[in-house]
Structure 1
């Protein structure tokens, strides 16, 4: 028996794919049409999911688009009625089926544009369950439709290049994002996905556990395929066949194992364009192809990168600049802390505010403004090492004790010796304040815990553990994205608009600067190691305590309220005054950023610092839900303080 010639096999595998412009368009149109057909048939056979109480109940989904323009909201409401939705899906199914027929008429362009338009109209109606496949189909159909209707081959080539570049970008970004996550690097990701309820497949999971070495090679192979997808364009397109074939096999496997059937046709609808554009221009199948599109894309990317870098520099300068009254102090570890002081007189206590992880000192703006304007208490806010204008000079690995030392050094170096101190810490800042308490001795009057972390939360709270497992990867992704200049694309989070006006630009500058997220990632790594090793119990704390919890935090994780009780007990064990309060309606962040809750919290802090009893009875009725407060006057709502006053309050 004659063995196959290896050279012939290699020649058959490693050579360009001869796809003409017309054939690439036809193949892509039909694959995208299959995606739309599958989507519509799925809806028409599962209409109960879109009715009241279903997964895609529009009476619930429409709240997600509350911030859209009035025209967009009216349009979505108009097409989201059940009869209209059924009619659109029926029409989409009919046109999709027609698009599968043979032919190269320009009318096919109108069909693709119709599918793209109806897909875009229906997409908000089916927010859950699309998983991105419909988005890909909408993009491809729009490009295909425009290419079909154009008589200029240069325009057609530009549109085909657009789809091909989108394909490369989708794989490339997906791969490099995965590479940032440890589960993909250590090859545990495949097993983790296969055991989930949403995308899991028990037989595959058992195979992964049975053959871990093979699973490791498979996981790393997927990672390499996505990260190196553009290799299809090297060596005159000789790698296009194995790259496209591997990507197609990957999607078919996902369709079978993970139930992502529409992904198969959606993503492979971009592959004909990759085949067409990766072939050398000398190949007869692509003779006359216009290749200016990638050069234009490269120029636009270079321009966008330059603009992104300029914006990043501007935001970094704003982040580090501080307020007019900002000062700096060097701690025992050599770290340089930027801080602001304001208010206070005589022997009144000084309230020292410690922010949470990935938060700013300006998060306390509503609270500090109220204290500065209405009391004689001093206010001291600061940024931990690595945040805002504070620098970390210590070269040893970071641990939470370092931040506790820095906080104690700040108090000793800034607060007059005759004045007592009340530490106010939010989230991780609360735990750092608790650890710093012993370093302050009799200077400590008390601690206010604002939805504070507890060192045993990752061990005892499933909700905290699950969110924590995703946090590290998210922080790594954010850091690298911002370092690459992607901060220019970050939208303003809604909570920033809830802060007083004077603070918003500075907070957004910090939020879009990699510096804050690098510090947060460093802190999170230390938290995981520290909290994971905690054995308890909490040591007694010689200071009064006001433990404030956000209602939604304890609702989502009942263990959190129990742990907050243990924080209070640590102060009781030292014979100190303890008060607790759950703020109705608030969540972990709105406790500070939403004036409805923050001003009420400020009142409790003022009472606590004065030694007055704090009301702990639960509040009910509209007043509790709305967070109404007699102190919430027009000045507080608009945040009308000037920068010098704001800097003192910050």
Structure 2
């Protein structure tokens, strides 16, 4: 395919995508009106952090009349782009379509998809190429689209490869039975002919993972690869309803056909391939920088705080921890156990409050594999190993004459509950902060449903970070809500693969053991404070029932038990948001004051010790 033909074909296919898109939006104008799915008075709240200029521009574009006028203009321009011709004015048409898609993207928050993003990419590049009089510039832009096309398939393929359903060949049937993208007749065929469905699933996987083979054998493989990809999109358009994806992704194929032909071919004579070499140089440089950042970040993660200490547990795991003794040796030490994929610094608002109070000691630690702690296990991981580590840490790091209060968030709450049973009289109380319950995957439909894709998502995160993508991560909003002194260290852990490896290991144990859980919780002879996040229990009332069961397990032994629902908090903001974190710390200190042991009881304990 020649440069001229590739340019014209790509811009026409992209214009067909925009034409279809705008006609769809015009036929569903009720969705942009008051009360519709894309009611701007609601959708604009997602842009409260944007600059005033940006918000005013979005408001201007997002008025019902302006939005409608833009779509009518897009229909007219797109239709014109489908006509024959090679005028440079076509470049302006492509740029208008690409720019208008970007402008309308926030307006159609629900309904925009990958096809709009791909068409914008193609239109901006092809528009610039059409306006340029320089053939090297045109070729550079053609290479840009072609490389993006290759990348879109390869990344999608290797991401799918991490999913068990794609590897075992059941993914096609699973997708066809979903409500959003499913197709009942096709699903029935996958069940009737499972072997053929498996071959087809693996064929899609191979096509995406190996898409760049189109450039091998002097470009002779380009036709079958491009043809297979086009057939894949046509099938998706029919059975999954992704009609716009057909023209959007196929719009990148002409540039792949153009760039994959050998330079000796007369159709591509004079093609400038310096963009490929420049892209390879940029990629190599970026990989080097990403690797250096990852190494530097890993060293900071392993180093810990200046006051960090270490202890080796019975399983050979080396735990990194920080401790503060407090001013009153008669008061217990609070030991904090973080949730899965959380850090000890997540308790920052609470521990800062304890330091200000200055009566109680506290200890924070990183479980094996997190932060500077090392996991030495070789066999299958079980949650009992984390419980043993916590017990060993308390025995080694907390003076024998001091009681402990175990404070656990999420999974840390369940680990604290199990550790309390082993530590016995050493535990004054257990504090559960929106704690996990071992029966939640069986009893909560929401939890069970969200658990299914978790393993594949964690595996994808692990491998992405191992390949240096941590440099691309933006700082999440919850991070900025933590005390300032902890933010950098938490982000270092968040962007490092070690935390995700540890979390993935823990998740597999959680899913296996929680789904096998049966029966009631064993009674536990300690005081208990059970704090639930309001948004957690509002979203899934079953969680509140399970939290009450945790409380009842302590209440059965006659100990003091209090339950609190923290208004406005969700599962994570209960710790990360200063408003809720400070309140949680106050609740803990007040509870400990109300359940303080009389002096004669402390004396008897000391004599027994």
TM-score (norm 2): 0.96
Within the alignment, does 1:294 sit opposite 2:294 as a pair? no
**Which position in structure 1 is the counterpart of 2:291?**
309
Q: 2:361 aligns with which of 369, 378, 382?
A: 378
Separation in 1 of the partners of 2:439 and 2:41? 40
What are the equivalent positions in structure 2 for 1:461-472 lying under 5 Å apart?
461-472=444-455
The Cα offsets for residues 12-67 of structure 1, whole Å up to 9 and x where unpaired, read as xxxxxxx0000001111110000000111111110011112211111222222222
In structure 1, distance between residues paired with 2:411 and 2:101: 44
Offset at residue 469 of structure 1 (A): 1.1
Matched, 1:549 2:541: no
Mean alpha-carbon deviation: is it higher for 231-240 or for 387-396?
Answer: 387-396
Cα deviation for residue 539 of structure 1 reads 1.1
Q: Given the alignment of the two structures, is residue 596 of structure 1 paired with residue 584 of structure 2, yes or no?
A: no
1:210 to 192, 205, 209: 192
* Secondary structure of residue in 2 paired with 1:581: strand
> Residues 172 and 229 of structure 1 are in contact (CA less than 8 Å); yes or no, is this contact kept in structure 2?
yes
1:175 to 149, 157, 167: 157
SS at match of 2:508: helix
C-alpha separation between the residues in 1 aligned to 2:41 and 2:419? 49
1:279 aligns with 2:261: yes
Deviation per residue, 1:170-192 (Å, 9 max, x gap):
00000000001111111221122
Report the 3-state secondary structure (helix = DSSP H, G, I; strand = E; otherwise coil) of the residue aligned with 1:274.
helix
Report if the CA contact (8 A) 1:50-1:57 is conserved.
yes
Other-structure match for 1:166: 148
Q: 1:153 and 2:139 equivalent?
A: no
Segments of 5+ residues of structure 1 without an aligned counterpart are 1-18, 614-650
CA contact (8 A) 1:343 1:372 kept: no
**2:404 alignment partner, one of 398, 410, 421:** 421
Q: Kindly provide the CA deviation profile for residues 442-491 of structure 1, in whole angstroms up to 9, marking residues without a partner as x.
A: 10111000010111111111111111112111111110111000000000
What CA deviation, in whole Å up to 9, does each residue of 1:562-590 have, x standing for no partner? 11111111112222221101101100000
Q: Offset at 1:321?
A: 1.2
SS of aligned partner of 1:125 = coil
Provide the rounded CA distance (Å) in 1 between the counterparts of 2:181 and 2:487.
40
How do 1:120-269 and structure 2 match up within 5 A?
Answer: 120-269=102-251
Report deviation, 1:343. 4.1
Which residue of the partner structure matches residue 593 of structure 2? 610
The alpha carbon displacement at 1:610 in A equals: 2.1
Q: Deviations over 1:341-368 (max 9, x none)?
A: 1142321011000000000000000001
Select which of 480, 484, 490 maps to 1:507: 490
SS of aligned partner of 1:83: helix
Equivalent of residue 552 in structure 2, options 569, 592, 605 = 569
Shift of 1:612: 4.7
For residues 467-482 of structure 1, what are the structure 2 equivalents within 5 Å? 467-482=450-465
2:323 paired residue number: 341
Q: What is the RMSD of the two structures over their aligned residues, measured on CA atoms?
A: 1.0
SS at match of 1:437: helix
- How far apart are the structure 1 equivalents of 2:525 and 2:80? 77
Q: Is the Cα–Cα contact under 8 Å of residues 350 and 581 in structure 2 kept in the other structure?
A: yes
2:417 alignment partner in structure 1: 434
- Deviation digits for residues 592-629 of structure 1, max 9, x if unmatched? 0001111111111001222359xxxxxxxxxxxxxxxx
C-alpha separation in 2, matches of 1:98 and 1:127:
27
Per the alignment, residue 605 of structure 2 pairs with: none
Look up the SS of the partner of 2:485 in the other structure: helix
Q: Which deviates further from its counterpart, 522-531 or 59-68?
A: 59-68
Distance (Å, rounded) in 2 between the aligned partners of 1:96 and 1:257: 26
Q: Is residue 540 from structure 1 mapped to residue 523 from structure 2 by the alignment?
A: yes
Contact 1:148 1:156 (C-alpha < 8 Å) held by counterparts: yes
1:362 to 315, 338, 345: 345
Residue ranges of structure 2 left out of the alignment (5+ in a row): 597-609
SS at 2:594 equivalent: coil
1:251-306 per-residue CA deviation (whole Å, 9 max, x = no partner) reads 01111111111000000000000000111111111111111111110100111111
Displacement, 1:394? 2.4
Bigger mean CA deviation after superposition, 97-106 or 181-190:
181-190
CA distance in 1, matches of 2:53, 2:470: 29
- Hey, what's the Cα distance between the residues in 2 that align with 1:537 and 1:379? 31
Q: In the alignment, does 2:10 pair up with 1:28?
A: yes
Given that residues 14 and 123 in structure 2 are in contact (C-alpha distance below 8 angstroms), is that contact kept between their aligned partners in structure 1? Answer: yes
Partners in 2 of 1:52 and 1:507 — Cα distance? 42
- Counterpart CA distance in 1 for 2:178 and 2:51 is 37
Asked whether the 8 Å contact 2:560–2:595 carries over to 1, the reply is: no
User: 1-side partners of 2:324 and 2:549: how far apart?
Assistant: 33
Match of 1:637 in 2: none
Residue of structure 2 equivalent to 1:632: none
CA offset digits 1:190-231 (Å, max 9, x no partner): 122112221111111111112111111111111111001001
SS in 2 for 1:262: helix
Q: 2:44 aligns with which of 62, 65, 69?
A: 62
Question: Once superposed, which parts of structure 1, at least 4 consecutive aligned residues long, lie more than 4 Å away?
Answer: none
Question: 1:101 is matched with which residue?
Answer: 83
Of structures 1 and 2, the one scoring higher in RCO (CA 8 A, sep 6+) is 1
Q: Which moved more, 1:391-400 or 1:251-260?
A: 391-400
- What is the DSSP-based 3-state SS (H/G/I as helix, E as strand, rest coil) of the residue aligned with 2:379? coil
Distance 1:70 1:268 in 2: 38
Q: Does the CA-based 8 Å contact 1:349-1:609 persist in structure 2? A: no
Q: Partner residue of 2:67? A: 85
Cα offset, 1:70, TM superposition: 2.7
Q: Secondary structure at the match of 1:388?
A: coil
Normalised TM-score (structure 1): 0.90
CA distance in 1, matches of 2:424, 2:316: 23
What's the offset of the Cα at 1:511? 0.4
Tell me if the contact between 2:125 and 2:141 (Cα under 8 Å) persists in the aligned partners: yes
Instruction: Give the Cα–Cα distance (whole angstroms) in 2 for the partners of residues 396 and 195 of structure 1.
Output: 37
